[in-house]
């Protein structure tokens, strides 16, 4: 089982957007290996639009270049980045996206890929909500299909 297959098993039913990339942090950036359906609903990009491209596809005029460089520097130094970027949907509409990006490592400590958990931020931290809505826009799905994990014991060897 590949890392893409393993991530797909747990990420398909999630309401949080998940993006799996390779580990190349140099320009033009990492290559997207997988996105889940929640990512497609949030961004408007189908998996086929994004897989094989860089996540920079989501950036636009309002995206902070300094912050995107900080993402790469922090991942290299600490193996994890948490923050908010301005991204753009396929339609061109800007949205704030909270990222939690982590490097995935093999048993020997070598980096394999990075995985990002993403949510759209609908209000800034510390701001009271007038309508009782939370901080994030839920990525709604019409169906829920549980993933069934049937691993061969050899995957853990």
Per the CB < 8 A criterion, the answer to whether 55 and 43 are in contact is no
User: 0.85 exceeded by the pTM?
Assistant: no
CA dist 69 and 79 (Å) reads 14
Tens digit of each residue's pLDDT (9 = 90 or more) over 14-51? 999 999 999 888 778 799 999 999 999 999 999 999 99
106 has pLDDT over 80: yes
Tens digit of each residue's pLDDT (9 = 90 or more) over 136-157? 444 444 443 333 333 444 444 4
At the top level of CATH, the class of 3-123 is alpha beta
Residues 6+ apart with CB under 8 A from 108: none
Per the CB < 8 A criterion, the answer to whether 38 and 14 are in contact is yes
Report residue 145 as tokens: 């299909």
């Amino acid at each position: 089982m590949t890392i893409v297959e393993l991530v797909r098993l747990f990420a398909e039913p999630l309401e949080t957007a998940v993006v799996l990339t390779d580990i190349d942090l140099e320009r033009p950036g990492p290559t997207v290996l997988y996105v889940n359906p929640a990512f497609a609903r949030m961004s408007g990009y189908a998996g086929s639009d994004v897989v094989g491209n860089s996540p920079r596809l989501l950036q636009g005029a309002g995206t902070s270049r300094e912050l995107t460089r900080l993402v790469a520097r922090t991942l290299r130094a600490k193996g994890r980045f948490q923050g908010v970027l301005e991204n753009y949907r396929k339609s061109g509409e800007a949205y704030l996206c909270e990222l939690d990006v982590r490097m995935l490592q093999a048993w020997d400590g070598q980096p394999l890929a990075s995985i990002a958990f993403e949510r759209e931020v609908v209000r800034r931290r510390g701001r009271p909500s007038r309508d009782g809505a939370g901080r994030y826009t839920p990525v709604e799905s019409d169906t829920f299909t549980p993933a069934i994990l049937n691993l061969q014991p050899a995957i853990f060897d």
